Structure 1
Amino acid sequence: MLVLSRKPGETIMIGDQIELIVLSTEGDVVKLGVVAPKEQQILRKEIYVALKESNLEASNPTANLNKLRDFFKKK
């Protein structure tokens, strides 16, 4: 892991096209700006993990059948 220290207004480059800008710091909160190509998806990690889990679950036909069976058992 690379650890960098930056002050508000300073920037970090990721490759040639992604720029992270430290906008401000307030206590233990850091506000970041991201400049990247429109086709580059940028997500908070918790959203990324939730989408990944949802896609994995949706691709499991057995789990989907079990959920469907449980749904109809309740009715």
Structure 2
Amino acid sequence: MLILTRKQGESFLLGENIQISIAEINGDRVRIAIDAPKDVKILRKELKEAGDLNMEAASTAKIPTAETLSNIANFAGKFKEKK
């Protein structure tokens, strides 16, 4: 891992076409400006991790079969009849 020290207004390059600039420093918060081509995907890490967890949950979720859905509908119909 490379660790750089930059002051407000300073920047660095990633490759030939991505520039990262320190826009503002306010206490423990840093505003970063990223100048990159439109085809470069920029995403906060926590959003990527949340998306990965959602994809994992969706892929392991059990999807009810047509038979199960039919049984639920029949049960609901019988419940309504008893009221």
Structures share a fold, TM > 0.5? yes
Partners of 1:45 and 1:20 in 2: CA distance? 16
Residue equivalent to 2:20: 20
Alignment of 1:11-50 (within 5 A): 11-50=11-50
For residues 48 and 33 of structure 1, the distance between their equivalents in structure 2, rounded to whole angstroms, comes to: 19
- Measured against aligned partners, the alpha-carbon deviations of 1:11-41 in whole angstroms (never above 9, x if no partner) come to 1111111111000101110000000011111
> Sequence identity of aligned pairs in percent?
36
The 4+ residue runs of structure 1 with deviation greater than 4 A are none
Q: Pick the structure with greater CA Rg.
A: 2
Please give the TM-score of this superposition, normalised by the length of structure 1: 0.75
Counterpart CA distance in 2 for 1:7 and 1:37 is 24
TM (norm. structure 2) is 0.69
**Number of aligned residues:** 67
State the Cα distance separating 1:53 from its structure 2 match: 1.9
Q: Indicate the larger mover: 5-14 or 44-53.
A: 44-53
Q: Tell me how far apart the structure 1 counterparts of residues 26 and 19 of structure 2 sit (CA, whole Å).
A: 21
Query: Which structure 1 segments of 5+ residues have no match?
Result: none
What is the CA RMSD across the aligned residues, in angstroms?
2.1
Q: Distance between the aligned counterparts of 1:64 and 1:13, measured in 2?
A: 46
